[in-house]
């Protein structure tokens, strides 16, 4: 018992010196983070027992939450506290057994007409779910070659869709014999259907989000040796200019499980990023880690929901929510 108390005390000391601890899961490093937290802020676990959850999105027209369980090729819905299967198969509709680990949908978003847009690993496309339940392929090839496995996506206010295309959905990832492109890209699908390659500089482009003024596009690189969140200047024509490092997660990736992943942005311009061990809240102006929502496991993504002030989090095998004193950028 004495040794156990010593261990617990040591853990507490580590947490205190790392930053002010609000609870077991909320750690502040800066007063800017403190202002985001209402009195008594806590993280709620909404559901658990999945394989690997991703693609969180809130339907602001109908008032429910969707997320992908990629290995199980499914999309689930949480509505008024009840969990149900929304769509299966979600990302792989082939008749042959999928030999990889991640056949299902990943990133999800709603377009202006309320239709669900999905990044599909197994079918290697970006799709739109129509009102009658059928799917329309929005993008599955670049210059005649199959995409790798579209991962995450975000809309610009003009209706253009930006998405990343790493190889995580391919059974052998970079070395998969079905891989047709010799790079991993970030793309823009314009509202008139034109697909443009914006950059192929990143090894594993993953999470993607715009700054509030849309002058910067944030893209995470889920590569252990280059675990960065980048900011790309957005030109007037929607293409990308110079990139710079916004946040360096390499040291965190050495001691915590996970890598830079999905992202969202709030009205302050702060980035809420899936990262090693949890969600990191980052001010891109100075690159400082303001605070973290710690889960101790790889944490993929987050999304704004309810009235826009609740942050829904997909962390490993479970879904969480925390209400904040801010609101997200919703497009």
- The whole-model pTM stands at 0.92
How far apart (Å, rounded) are the C-alpha atoms in residues 281 and 157? 23
Of the CA atoms within 13 Å of residue 161, those in its CB half-sphere come to: 28
pLDDT value of residue 24: 57
pLDDT value of residue 331: 84
pLDDT value of residue 224: 84
Of the CA atoms within 13 Å of residue 51, those in its CB half-sphere come to: 14
Q: Return the residue matching tokens 């482009």.
A: 205
What is the percent of the chain where pLDDT is above 90? 91
Residue 14: φ, ψ to 5°: -60, -45
Render each residue's pLDDT in the chain as its tens digit; 331 residues: 434 333 333 333 334 334 555 545 999 999 999 999 999 999 999 999 999 999 999 999 999 999 999 999 999 999 999 999 999 999 999 999 999 999 999 999 999 999 999 999 999 999 999 999 999 999 999 999 999 999 999 999 999 999 999 999 999 999 999 999 999 999 999 999 999 999 999 999 999 999 999 999 999 999 988 999 999 999 999 999 999 999 999 999 999 999 999 999 999 999 999 999 999 999 999 999 999 999 999 999 999 999 999 999 999 999 999 999 999 999 8
pLDDT (tens digit per residue) in 138-161:
999 999 999 999 999 999 999 999
How far apart (Å, rounded) are the C-alpha atoms in residues 170 and 245? 28
pLDDT (tens digit per residue) in 289-302:
999 999 999 999 99
How far apart (Å, rounded) are the C-alpha atoms in residues 71 and 100? 9
Nearest-CA neighbor of 282 among 296, 272, 294, 268?
272
Give the burial string for 31-41 (b: 16+ CB within 10 Å, else e): ebbeebbeeeb
Give me the sign of the Cα torsion angle 307, 311, 315, 56. Answer: positive
Domains, the chain, ordered by start: 20-323 (2.120.10.30)
DSSP states of 57-76 as a string? EEETTTTEEEEEETTTTEEE
Which structure tokens are listed for 8?
């617990």
Distance of CA 284 to the CA centre of its chain: 17
Alpha helices in 176-241 (DSSP H): none
pLDDT value of residue 179: 98
Of the CA atoms within 13 Å of residue 198, those in its CB half-sphere come to: 29
């Amino acid at each position: 018992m004495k040794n156990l108390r010593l261990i617990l005390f040591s853990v507490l000391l580590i947490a205190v010196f790392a930053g002010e601890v609000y609870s077991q899961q909320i750690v502040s490093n800066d007063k800017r983070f403190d202002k985001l937290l209402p009195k008594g802020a806590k993280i709620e676990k909404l559901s658990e027992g999945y394989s690997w959850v991703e693609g969180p999105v809130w339907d602001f027209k109908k008032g429910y939450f969707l997320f992908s369980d990629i290995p199980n090729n499914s999309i689930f819905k949480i509505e008024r506290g009840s969990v149900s299967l929304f769509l299966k198969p979600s990302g792989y509709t082939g008749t042959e057994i999928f030999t990889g680990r991640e056949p299902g949908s990943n990133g999800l978003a709603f377009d202006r007409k309320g239709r669900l847009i999905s990044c599909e690993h197994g079918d290697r496309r970006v799709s739109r779910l129509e009102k009658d339940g059928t799917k329309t392929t929005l993008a599955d090839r670049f210059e005649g070659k199959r995409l790798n496995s579209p991962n995450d996506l975000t809309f610009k206010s003009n209706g253009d869709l930006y998405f990343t295309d790493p190889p995580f959905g391919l059974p052998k990832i970079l070395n998969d014999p079905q891989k047709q492109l010799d790079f991993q890209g970030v793309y823009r699908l314009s509202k008139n259907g034109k697909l443009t390659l914006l950059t192929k500089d990143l090894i594993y482009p993953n999470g993607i989000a715009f700054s509030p003024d849309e002058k910067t596009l944030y893209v995470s690189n889920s590569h252990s040796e280059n675990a960065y969140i980048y900011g790309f200047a957005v030109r007037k024509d929607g293409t990308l200019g110079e990139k710079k490092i916004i946040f360096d997660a390499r040291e965190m990736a050495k001691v915590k499980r996970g890598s830079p992943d999905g992202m969202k942005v709030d009205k302050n311009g702060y980035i809420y990023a899936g990262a090693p061990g949890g969600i990191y809240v980052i001010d891109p102006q100075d690159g400082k880690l303001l605070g973290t929502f710690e889960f101790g496991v790889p944490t993929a993504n987050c999304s704004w929901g309810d009235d826009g002030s609740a942050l829904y989090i997909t962390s490993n095998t479970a879904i969480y929510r925390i209400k904040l004193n801010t609101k997200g950028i919703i497009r």
